[in-house]
Structure 1
């Protein structure tokens, strides 16, 4: 193991037992519901601003190998993207008469963003088949690490991020227009970087400061 070659870890915030978890100095948050709930978690994304940049909660293009994903906007307005189309396939909002729900199938490239310049986007999320503790483990580690890097003004390690993503069967989307080829390329990239990060550099899939499978607040 060549752990001496890896980037230093940021100081870790102990958030393992907190629910909700607040990030980015309270501007964003993730709250987990009970197992078997209609929606397993709620994300709060602040607007993108010049001062604060893009929120760590805003996902890049990715796909889930085995799970469908469902969204319900509770407050604000969000643009939801699918495939490699640069235009959103739907805009969800809490406006009267607005569409509030959408979904994507396993294997489909997707991402979403806050479409407002002034209001938070609050969106419920569910993944099915549900894997409650695995989802808690991934999101707590992924966002906890990104938030600590941002607070410490450090660049996140790509290898650490891919170790987290591999544990959740969630490749980042390689932007190839024909998605079957893109999915294969994405999985190869995910597997290669996660292997190097975990088995060569010594990054972990989970850290006790971010996740512990025990009773939470």
Structure 2
């Protein structure tokens, strides 16, 4: 193990919180009751520039890169504001009360489409993976915000390890029949071999998410 080579980021203790604030308290994620259909609410600030109304370009801890889910379908419900969703290269705007469903395997991401108002959007994944998905969101998004606060770049192997833990894969450029297998290999080699085995990163940290009790 070469953990001495890994960049260790100071970790904010948020495991006890149902709502976690990011980006100097301008954005947040709220985890909902296990009885609720939707898993989380994302609250985004207004986009600071026209460029950041493009999905995948927003500089926000909640901004996901273009990605896809190996098994899961994902449903977004816009509570307020206007969400802009990229689905297989096409942009779809959804306003308050509208939903957008992303099928498994589809390349997608989203952002706030407005420079004037905030965005509230809640989303649901598969019920059977709720605990895993909450662990993933808590770790990934808090880690990204902690690196921002520390003036550090996020470690790609650490990010890939988080992604692999939830069967989330990057939407790599090129034809899908090539891009998808490459993303699977990238998650394993970059996340598991390099991130976990060589650098000593973990899929979850107790500061970010309470360990499961047996």
Q: TM-score normalized by structure 2?
A: 0.90
In the TM superposition, what are the counterparts of 1:66-145 in structure 2 within 5 Å?
A: 66-83=71-88, 85=89, 87-88=90-91, 90-94=92-96, 100-145=98-143
| Contact 2:67–2:169 (CA under 8 A) maintained in structure 1 | yes
- The answer for the alignment partner of 2:55 in structure 1 is none
How big is each residue's C-alpha offset from its partner over 1:101-127, in whole Å with a ceiling of 9 and x where there is no partner? Answer: 010111111100110012111101100
Unaligned runs of at least 5 residues, structure 2? 53-57
Unaligned runs of at least 5 residues, structure 1? none
CA distance in 1, matches of 2:84, 2:132: 27
SS in structure 2 of the partner of residue 191 of structure 1: helix
CA distance in 2, matches of 1:213, 1:92: 36
Equivalent pairs counted in the alignment come to 205
How big is each residue's C-alpha offset from its partner over 1:22-59, in whole Å with a ceiling of 9 and x where there is no partner? Answer: 11121111111122422111111223326x96111011
- The answer for the alignment partner of 1:3 in structure 2 is 3
Q: Which of the residues 31, 49, 65 maps onto 1:60?
A: 65
SS in structure 1 of the partner of residue 83 of structure 2: strand
Is 2:191 the counterpart of 1:194?
yes
In the TM superposition, what are the counterparts of 1:30-49 in structure 2 within 5 Å?
A: 30-49=29-48
Q: Which of the residues 162, 168, 171 maps onto 2:160?
A: 162
Cα displacement (A) at 1:214: 7.0
Q: TM-score normalized by structure 1?
A: 0.89
| Contact 2:43–2:119 (CA under 8 A) maintained in structure 1 | yes
| Contact 2:39–2:134 (CA under 8 A) maintained in structure 1 | no
CA distance in 2, matches of 1:35, 1:70: 17
| Contact 1:68–1:106 (CA under 8 A) maintained in structure 2 | yes
